[in-house]
């Protein structure tokens, strides 16, 4: 049985052909905005999985991962993984063992976020600090944004009651004073560290494995704090994060085995 063109374009269930049956155009635009914001913030993870999680965490009307995949593909916001080329990362080779042994006290730091409370679109960010030696202690603090000012403010707080490191291992992030637009310039974070006698050690771009100590601590923070506990507001986060920091400093060996 053959159908005419008019009949093919109709859907007896009440939907127009090629139109979403469950989701709206507004939802597509919001998914597009989330993906665009992740790229602007230079987030390391910007794929459909992260976009899907961020959307559902900040909206009451949930969407499926499949819908996010289709939407990103429709807006041409999907990148195919590049074919691995042998020897392409040779520029990253450096005496890592020697660098990791610099100083008696070494710390690494990184941003975490943005995160979202259920039903809220407000961004929640954290600064994660991990002592590499002499003790493997970790500290996470909530910050107002991923900026140099916030990083310096939190570091001052931490170093008032904790050891000031000889070396601070830092991700190569624009908010940390790298990727500057002008040559022969030094970022404010770098100047702050040098002025108090701390040697900044910047990690090669797009290589989180070179800052594995703090990345591992970030994973513990996500599993044992953010994904496990429930929060009603930012004040409750600040209260519970103190318990997390104390628990990690006392029992980091226990955390690392879980």
Contact present, 111 and 146 (Cβ < 8 Å): yes
Nearest residue to 217 via CA among 248, 172, 254, 243: 248
Nearest residue to 244 via CA among 150, 96, 142, 154: 142
Runs of H (alpha helix) within 144-198: 148-161, 188-195
Q: Per residue in 153-165, pLDDT tens?
A: 999 999 999 999 9
Nearest residue to 172 via CA among 189, 158, 155: 189
Cα–Cα distance between 38 and 253 in angstroms, integer? 33
The side-by-side arrangement of strands in the sheet containing 138-143 is: 138-143, 124-133, 106-115, 167-170, 199-202
pLDDT bucket at 223, cuts 50 / 70 / 90: confident
Bridge partner residues of 237 (DSSP)? none
CATH of 91-257, picked from 3.40.718.10, 3.30.420.10, 1.10.1270.20, 3.30.930.10, is 3.30.420.10
For the record, the structure tokens of 255 come out as 């955390």
Q: Would the pTM count as exceeding 0.75?
A: no
Contact present, 247 and 140 (Cβ < 8 Å): no
State the average pLDDT over residues 123-132.
Answer: 92
Contact present, 244 and 225 (Cβ < 8 Å): yes
pLDDT higher than 80, residue 63: yes
| Mean pLDDT (the chain, rounded) | 79
Q: Per residue in 13-35, pLDDT tens?
A: 555 555 556 788 899 999 999 99
pLDDT bucket at 86, cuts 50 / 70 / 90: low
Which sequence spans correspond to the domains of the chain? 18-74, 91-257
State the average pLDDT over residues 68-85.
Answer: 82
**Antiparallel, parallel or unpaired: β 167-170 and 138-143:** unpaired
- Torsion over CA: 216, 222, 223, 224 (sign): positive
């Amino acid at each position: 049985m053959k159908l005419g063109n008019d009949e093919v374009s109709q859907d007896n269930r009440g939907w127009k052909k090629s139109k979403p049956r469950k989701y709206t155009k507004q939802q597509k635009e919001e998914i597009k905005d989330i993906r665009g914001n992740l790229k602007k913030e230079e987030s390391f993870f910007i794929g459909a999985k992260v976009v899907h999680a961020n959307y559902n965490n900040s909206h009451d009307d949930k969407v499926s991962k499949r819908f996010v995949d289709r939407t990103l593909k429709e807006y041409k916001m999907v990148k195919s993984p590049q074919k691995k080329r042998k020897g392409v990362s040779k520029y990253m080779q450096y005496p890592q063992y020697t660098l990791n042994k610099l100083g008696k006290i070494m710390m690494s730091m990184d941003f975490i976020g943005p995160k979202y409370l259920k039903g809220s679109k407000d961004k929640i960010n954290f600064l994660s600090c991990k002592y590499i030696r002499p003790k493997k202690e970790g500290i996470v603090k909530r910050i107002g944004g991923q900026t140099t000012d916030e990083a310096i403010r939190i570091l001052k707080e931490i170093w008032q009651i904790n050891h000031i490191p000889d070396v601070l291992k830092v991700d190569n992030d624009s908010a940390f004073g790298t990727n500057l637009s002008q040559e022969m310039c030094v970022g404010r974070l770098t100047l702050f560290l040098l002025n108090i006698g701390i040697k900044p050690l910047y990690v090669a771009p797009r290589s989180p494995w070179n800052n594995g100590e703090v990345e591992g601590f970030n994973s513990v923070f996500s599993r044992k704090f953010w994904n496990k506990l429930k929060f009603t507001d930012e004040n409750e986060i600040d209260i519970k994060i103190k318990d997390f920091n104390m628990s990690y400093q006392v029992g980091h060996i226990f955390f690392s085995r879980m």
